[in-house]
Amino acid sequence: MQQNVLKVSGLKIAYGGIQAVKGIDLEVNQGELVTLIGANGAGKTTTLKAITGTLPQCRVEGQIIYGGEPVQGMNSFKLVQRGLAMVPEGRGVFTRMSIHENLLMGAYLRDDKDGIAADVDKWFGIFPRLKERRDQLAGTLSGGEQQMLAMARALMCHPKLLLLDEPSMGLSPIMVEKIFEVVRTVSAQGVTILLVEQNAKLALQAAHRGYVMDSGLITMHGKGQDMLDDPKVRAAYLGEA
């Protein structure tokens, strides 16, 4: 039987008078790559923030179960300790540290020196662009390379769930392809991923399952390939008549 890593039920979030999320259900099972797609302002980032405990003051209803326990209201530090890793929009790498130092920062909760060194080698193997630039300051990397570094850094803590917020944002088409290739490779390593994306086509191609969010509601969900074949998804999100 598939095991839930994350289960969100009846989640509602309001910023003052604005109801940004209007009662959504979604789940991510062990080893799955699940994507949440939708237009600007649909409520995707707000949903991710609720999961990671980083929402500003606002009204939250419903339930978020992560790793078998209710976590709404739990602070983000505790969630990180429980293996929840978030790569935010805009990435947030330590620009004045080298690539290698950034990776080590990702392992700050660990003290197994040999294991950390083995993981640095492992992720450098999967992200060769980072390996070539190992001692370069992270601030000198291109946007796509910084995205890769943010992902590799998050993976250094062996996350139970990796949350990616718009990893393709602001990147050139070639770099977007590369990032999706990396997301697939990381998923193939068995990492459980929730991917928030506006690039619906690439996200659904990569994902096992997808959810469409529109104006605070989940309007469709299903297997990635089935959604790609769905005429409503094609018309609304893939730019096809």
Site string for ligand ATP, 71-110 (x = CB under 6 A): ----------------------------------------
- Restricting to residues 189-228, which ones interact with ligand ATP according to CB under 6 A? 198
Q: Could you tell me the smallest distance in angstroms from the CB atom of residue 46 to ligand ATP?
A: 3
Q: Could you tell me the smallest distance in angstroms from the CB atom of residue 45 to ligand ATP?
A: 3
Give yes or no for residue 56 binding ligand ATP (CB under 6 A): yes
- Restricting to residues 6-35, which ones interact with ligand ATP according to CB under 6 A? 15, 18, 20
Backbone angles phi, psi at 184, to 5 degrees: -65, -40
Q: 63-67, long-range: CB within 8 Å, 24+ apart, which pairs?
A: 63/7, 63/8, 63/9, 63/10, 63/11, 64/6, 64/7, 64/8, 64/11, 65/4, 65/6, 65/7, 65/8, 65/9, 66/5, 66/6, 66/161, 67/5, 67/160
Give yes or no for residue 41 binding ligand ATP (CB under 6 A): yes
Please report, as ranges, the residues that interact with ligand ATP according to CB under 6 A.
Answer: 15, 18, 20, 38, 40-46, 56, 198
